Each structure stands twice: as structure tokens, then as C-alpha cells.
Amino acid sequence: MSKLDNMLAILWMLNSGRKITAQELSEKLEINIRTVYRYIDALCASGVPIISDTGHHGGYTLLNQFIKSPLLLDVEEKTTLLHAAVFAKEAGYFLEESLNSATSKLRMHSNPEQENMIKQHFEGVEVIGSPGEPTIEPILRTLEQGILNESSVEMDYQTNHEAQSKRRTVDPYGMIYWNRNWYVIAFCQFRNEIRSFRVDRINHVNQTELTFKRPALFSASTFFRNSLLPEADDSQTFIPLLLTGKSSTLDGLCRHWYMRQHLQERTPERAVFLIDKEKMHKYVPSLLLPYGRSVQVLEPTSLKHKLVEALYDLIDHYQV
């Protein structure tokens, strides 16, 4: 067996709860007893709490709590998971209590040397999250239960252009976190179609006794992406958009969630996008105006006119 296989086998034998000697491990694994000692040392260095008793009735045992602890995680792996937990909390992950419990176990089952190294790693990396928002954790938990149990939920939902919320019954298929907002992808029984709902616009939600069957191979993320950028049809007219300007500005535009879907070419001097003409005139001016003089439209001329119109609209708005 390989070194890793032997080390895992030692763990499983120690996990039985009884004391076992190096000689027994050597015989069972058919390896040299000195190799057993090296493997035990390696396991201890990785944070496994192995207790060694010397003497006539000596041997190796594991701490009882190790049954629930992570196995064979080195310092970099633990640090990576702890960093990921910080990013998740700052991004708006809703199961914070469980996340804190998991990270505390990672820290608890580290030896002193690992704890010191993890602390040094954390002193060099920090995350600044978005300002605190009203918690939507109870709503997310209810939606998650609906997804897991395939049970319909009833919710009061208020769209951006409605003054009052409306009661809807939906079958939740999945949840998406995008652009600092949570969305639930669900079949709306009122509209008789699959739709996406922003969770922060749900005023109240509760489980129902109704059940549903989620469509086979359904992907909430695929549906959400397609709703943002629907597939082109024959009626759409795609034209090239040529931009020039500061390299950093062009890089930022190429990374934008909408623009990157249409990127055709990127050179040091310019970026070329292929966008439906109607959508270009509707959405792109508001994307380009904040960049000011750091970006310039080379083509099409029609977009330049739309930018001028947008600027005159702003002037009229502020000339009171």
C-alpha cells in the first residue's frame, strides 16, 4: 500500500477505541516498525491527537473527541477553509451559526504550532464586507427547507414597481447568490412559469403542506444566467461596439457581468464587443458614463448619440 493508504489504515485502527502497539500495527500492515514510528510522527505533525503510553501495557490511542474532528488537514488546508469562511460570512452567507461552529472545530483540533501558523496567516489577509443589512436569515432557512423537502411555500412578495406586496405560492427549486443579493428560483403557481425572486423583497414566507417534484437535471444557476442574458433570436441585430481608452478601464469593462458575455476581442489598445443594437442603446450608456474620459466609443456612431442624449437628460434633470 502507499504511504497515504497506510496512514489512513493506522487512523482507522486507532479509531476503534482500543490501545494498539507499534508492533501490532507493523504486523497488520506488513511494514517495518520504524516506518510505523515515522507514520505516527507524521500524523501527530498534521494535528492528529495521538496519545502514546510507554511501558509494558503501553501503546497508541486517540483522544475521544477526534472522532468528530477533521482528518489529515495541514496548516495551508485549514487556513484556506478558515479564509473561505470569512469570505462567505462577509458575502452574506446565512448559516453563520453553523459556519462558526465548523471553524471553531478547525481551530480546536490544531496543535500549538499549527495555531501559531494559522494566526500568522490571518494577520496578513483581511476582508472588508458590505455594510450591515436587515437579516433575511429566517426567510432563507425556510426557502432552503422548501428546496430540500420539495414542499411549496407561500410568500408575500413585493416587486420594485409595486406599492404593495402580493401573496404567491411557489415551488422553490434552488437559491442563487449574485451581485450581493440572494435569489430563489421557483415555479410560480400564479404565473404558471419558473421565475426568479429577490429574497430581500419577500416580506413573509411560510411552509405549506403542498409538495412538488423538481424537474430532473434542472439547474438554478443556468436558468438565472439565461434570464439575465436570454438566447438570441433571428429578430435581433448584433453590431460591433469598439471601445478605446485606459487599459485598466477596458479591463474593468471586460470583466463586467454583462459586457464580458459579449466580448469578441481584447487588444492593448481596444476592446470589441458584439451586442444587440436595441440592448446596446438601452443599457450600455449607463455603463460607460461613470468612466468619463477614460473610455471612448469608436463605433457605432448611434451609441455616441445615445450617450449625448443621456448627458443632456442629466443636465435637464439638475437644471432647476
- Same domain (yes/no): 247, 311: yes
- Same domain (yes/no): 142, 117: no
- Same domain (yes/no): 31, 61: yes
Residue owning grid cell 426557502 = 143
Residue owning grid cell 509494558 = 56
Residue 132 lies in a domain: no
146 neighbors 197 (Cβ within 8 angstroms): no
Which pLDDT belongs to residue 196?
A: 93
Which pLDDT belongs to residue 72?
A: 60
Residue 130 lies in a domain: no
Residue 131 lies in a domain: no
51 neighbors 60 (Cβ within 8 angstroms): yes
* Cα-based distances in Å from 81 to 70, 78, 89, 107, 120: 11, 5, 12, 11, 15
- Same domain (yes/no): 99, 143: no
User: What phi and psi values does residue 239 have, to the nearest 5 degrees?
Assistant: -130, 155
Rounded Cα distance between 130 and 229, Å, is 26
Residue owning grid cell 415555479 = 187
Mean pLDDT of 308-315: 91
Rounded Cα distance between 2 and 22, Å, is 18
C-alpha cell at 142: 425556510
The CATH number covering residue 301 comes to: 3.30.70
pLDDT in tens, 62-84: 876 565 555 566 777 778 888 88
Q: What's the whole-number average pLDDT of the chain? A: 85
Count: domains in the chain: 4
- Same domain (yes/no): 107, 149: no
Which pLDDT belongs to residue 207?
A: 93
pLDDT in tens, 138-156: 899 899 999 999 999 999 9
Q: Which domain holds residue 196?
A: 137-228
Q: Is the pLDDT of residue 26 over 80?
A: yes
